[in-house]
Amino acid sequence: MTLEFISTIGPWNKINLYTDSLSVLEALSTFKTSKQEILAIKNDILEMSKEKSITLHWIPAHTGIQGNETADSYAKNATTRPNIEKIPKKSFKQLKNAISNVQLQIWQERCASSTTKNGRHTENLIHAVSIHAKKFSHFNVQFLSEHGRFPAYFVRFGRSLNIKCPCGAVGDTLHYLVNCPFTEKYAKKLIYDKDNLSKILNRDENLLTS
């Protein structure tokens, strides 16, 4: 079953197999064998060796090696089941996607459960994490991160004592987008739902390119 699985993982060409069965390794290393099982394994390894580098390793049984003990435990549990379970073959792409989905889920849960104030503004605009890159201009990045030439930003990082916009309101990112009279004519060009600011990123015409 192990060799069958190896035959499906095309991109991996260097394979290391570990076993605690010294007798099997000795049988594979000799030409004097007539056992059909050993001959079949030899043929499989020989065929796969045309495209992959396969190395067999022996590890002592019952010596506290965690990986081997875990594998032995699973093997023993399998003998108590009425039917032999065969894991469906998965391609390298399927395995990669599965791992990526788990990582995304962990990332999303970490963002949702975070108690730090850092990144909250960005999370309010981008609710779901993603590994797919989206091209933003440096103006977009200032809006998303609140790191830009805004009074609130300068005060936050000790560059100024004045947090107010010339209009009298707190000069943060959302102020200039939603209710600043000095930037109103520019903000009106954007198409979005004021009750759901995250939708402003869904329209390409809202994303500045310079």
Q: Which two tokens stand for residue 116?
A: 């730090």
Range 152-156 contact pairs with CB under 8 angstroms and sequence separation of 24 or more: none
Per-residue pLDDT, 169? 95
Element of type H or E holding 36: helix 36-48
Query: What is the number of other CB atoms lying within 10 angstroms of the CB of residue 56?
Result: 15
For residues 151 and 164, the answer to whether their CB atoms sit within 8 Å is yes
H/E segment holding residue 45:
helix 36-48
What confidence score (pLDDT) does residue 182 get? 94
Furthest-apart CA atoms within the chain: distance in Å: 93
Burial class (CB in 10 A: 0-12, 13-18, 19+), 155: middle
pLDDT in tens, 51-109: 778 888 888 877 778 777 787 787 788 778 777 666 666 777 888 888 888 988 888 88
Structural domains in the chain, CATH included, are 1-79 (3.30.420.10), 135-206 (no CATH)
Return the closest-CA partner of residue 208 out of 148, 142, 151. 142
Which pLDDT tens digit goes with each residue over 145-191? 888 889 999 999 999 999 999 999 999 988 988 889 999 888 888 87
Q: How far apart are CA 30 and CA 183, in angstroms?
A: 82
